Every structure is written in C-alpha cells, then in structure tokens.
Amino acid sequence: MKKILIAGATGYVGSRLVPRLLEKGYRVRCLARNPDKLKNRSWNKVEIVQGDVLDISSLEAALKNIDIAYYLVHAMGTLGDFRQKDSQSARNFASAAKIDGVKRIIYLGGLGDPEQNLSQHLKSRQEVGQILGETGIPVTELRASIIIGSGSASFEIIRDLVKKLPIMITPRWVKSRCQPIAIDDILSYLIEVLRDQRTVGETFDIGGSEILTYQTMMLQVAEIMGKRLKIINVPVLTPHLSAYWLNLVTTVPMSVAFPLVEGLRNDTICIDQRIQQFLPLQKTPFKDAVQTALQADKKSYLESRWTQADTFNSDRMGRLNQRLLYDEQIVTCPASKDKVFAKIQKIGGNTGWYYANWTWKLRGLFDRLIGGVGMRRGRRHPTELRVGDTLDFWRVEKYIPGSYLKLRAEMKLPGIAWLEFDVNEEGGITVLHQRAAFKPFNWFGYAYWFILLPIHYFIFKNMAKNIALT
C-alpha cells in the first residue's frame, strides 16, 4: 500500500478523510502544527508528525518516504493576507515534496471560471493549484463549489439565515449560480482519484447533480426545515455589508464571512465535465445532502467542523514583551477530583460559564460587533474535549483528561488571554486552581486589564466557587 501524507488533517475535510483512508488500508501520516490536536482521535495506526507549511525546514522530514500527499490547507480566516500565506505555504510544500521524491500531490481547490474577475478567495484557491505543480510533481486538482455537510461553514451560513430570518433583504449575489456538493461526495472523489492513475496530473471540476442559485438553495433549505421564507432582492448591499450582516446573524465570523461572500458574486459551476468519464460516481441530490447535514446537527457531536481551523497567528507572540497579568482563584471542593473536572469539561456551549452568563454573552455580542468570533461557535461535543476544540470564543490549547484544561481567547483583544483550570488532590482534599492570564500588546492592553479588573475578579471568583460546588 502507498504511504499517504495529509497536510490539513486537523481541518474540516481532512478530519473526515483520514479515517476513510485508514479503513481502506492505506498507511497515513498526518502533518500538524500542533500534533496534540490529533492525539485524542480514534484513528488506529496513524502517524502524526509536527510541521508548518509556512516553515519549509519543518516539512522535509514530514514528507520523507511519502508516495502521495494530500494538500488540504487554506489560510482563510487567519490574520493577515491569506492569499500571500496560501501562496507561500504551497510553494514551501511543493519544494519540500520535490526534495523528498513525492510522486504525486492531490489538492482540493475552488470552482470558478478563471476568465471571470474572480474574488480574492477563489483566485487564491486556483493559484495554489498552479504553484503546487511548478516543481514538476504531478498534481491532481479537484475544484469544488460550496460543500453541504454538517459543520461546513457555507452550510452553517445558509442554515442560520433560514433558521433566524423569516424575511431576508438580499444583495445581487443570491442570483449567482453554484453547484453545491455533499461532503460525502467530496470524500469519494478524493479517494477515487487516488486509485485511478488516469487522473494523475489533471484538473477536474467536481460538483453536485444540480445547478442552483443561492436564493433557490435557501428556499429549499427553508422548505426542508419547515420554515417560511420571503426573499427581497436589493442592488445596494456590498459584499462588506453582507459579510458584516452574516457576522452578526450566523456562527461564521467576519474573517471567514467576508472572503466567502466576496466569492459569491462569481458563478461556481462545473465547466469541465471530464471527471464523469473517469469517475461516474452517483451524486447526492441537494435536498438529500441537506437532510443528512441537518440530522447530523441534531447529534451530540460533529465529526468535524470549520471551527477546527485555528485563527490564531503565531506572529503575534513576537509582540508579547510585556509582563503577564493574572487573576488566580484557589478553591477547596467537597466533591472528588473526577466530579469537579467533569464539570469543567462541560464548560461553555449550552452549559455556559457557571456564573453571570449574561455578561459572557454581552462580551460575545460586543466581539461580534467589531468583527470577532463571538459566542456563537459553541462546542463540538457537550462533554468531550480535545486540543483544538472551540468553546465559544475560546480554543482548547492544552488538555490533560481528568486534571488540566488551558483555553486561549480568540476574541479581539489588545493582548493574548488564557483561562486555566487545574484540579488536584492535596492531603485528601480536592483543590481547584483557576487562573485567568493576560499578556498585553502595549499600554492600551494594560488599560484594558486594569479597567476591567474589578468585574473580572468578581466573575472569576464566583465562577470558581460554583464549579467547586459540585
């Protein structure tokens, strides 16, 4: 069996592709900036290596003895110029793959007629495919439109709009045509091109069986959800205003919403139909894909979700030359260590934050108003945690089952914030150490911390007390 490397194994598509490749007997190696994100997955016989596509020196060892590499990396949603990051990442990856003798790269890109004036997002997707092939390694590029599946950012936008707005005032892009494709069909194509040598070095358009406008999609989703929906088209809403509105109404923040909305002005339909000659797969009808996604949403957890992509920019750490500020609470607990930590594991999402939830929601609303992630991301699972999970506007940075949890804030702040929970038994007594830490970027960060210090102290003190009362 060929040895496969997956760059982007922690992402939405990669997380679903890995177990399917393992089931088919392939030897799989996963590349991750933070290997801890993958250590708690139930994937047997998978090799995990540390590496960053923006650091070419970290890639050569990761690609050694690899036959075929999947490239499922995208910088959209991160800070800075995502198009520049995409280009540099692809160039690094292709160069390292050439040095290590990788025989083939499989890449999932984006649909869009290159003769049109494509959005920055779609241009970046297609540029990456070109860059990956510059070293001469054969690249199989699959270009897809929006993905319909539980946890997909595009699907969650449509679902949330239909769920919350009985009347929509929409811009012209709702008349754009696309060819939505089910996540299961995406995975089938990714696996089948691996098997079919005729697809080596080729670029294919892949899509579902129907060409729909975004308006038609929303109306069909409303019908499936049993909602009444009226859509009023107006010509004056710009992509930026549309993205800001989506940021307020849906789970998707501004950093993701804007490049997605900008791309909606372009038709994303299959022009090249050759893939049907090689792989005549049975495609999932749009309504069936929506039904499957909605049913999966009702489960207690999702297999993968767009929130797995980390929006944190490690370059920001270089600005942290200030001292650490913190609030620390130490509380003895009448319950056992396991019971106390079980309560901590459920924090966020529907459970809330154990004290003054309205203040957390207010902070999340303010963050949304200024383009941040807010509180709507929730949790992937009601009780289970793993490194990389989102808990509202926090992300799990470190997790030791039964004893320790460290969260890093992803809201907009003048510094970096962490929230830690450490539960131990000391002399037969359960003790909770809770610590809220903050490293400011500059004087404004110091002002932010000290102005809010009385409020934070009151909230964190009572939160620790309520966690201890298990």
Question: What are the residue ranges spanned by the domains of the chain?
Answer: 315-468
User: Confidence class of residue 310 from pLDDT cuts 50, 70 and 90?
Assistant: low
Q: Give the model's pLDDT for residue 16.
A: 94
pLDDT at 1: 67
Question: What digits encode the pLDDT tens for the residues 387-418?
Answer: 989 999 999 999 999 999 999 999 999 999 99
Q: pLDDT tens digits for 81-113?
A: 778 889 999 999 999 999 999 999 999 999 988
- Name the average pLDDT for the chain: 89
With a threshold of 0.85, does the pTM exceed it?
Answer: no
Residue 76: pLDDT over 80: no
Q: Which long-range contacts (CB under 8 A, 24 or more apart) does 407-414 make?
A: 408/312, 410/311, 410/312, 410/372, 410/373, 411/363, 411/364, 411/367, 411/372, 411/373, 411/374, 412/367, 412/370, 412/371, 412/372, 413/438, 413/445, 413/448, 414/440, 414/441, 414/442, 414/444, 414/445, 414/448
Q: Residue 126's pLDDT is what?
A: 92
- Report the CATH fold assignment for 315-468: Alpha-D-Glucose-1,6-Bisphosphate; Chain A, domain 4 (3.30.530)
pLDDT of 171 reads: 80
Asked whether residue 75 carries a pLDDT value surpassing 80, the answer given is: no
Residue 199 has pLDDT above 80, yes or no: yes
pLDDT at 321: 57
- pLDDT at residue 318 tops 60: no
pLDDT reading at 48 higher than 70: yes
* pLDDT tens digits, 448-466: 999 999 999 999 999 999 9
Is the pLDDT at 309 greater than 80? The verdict is no
pLDDT for position 245: 78
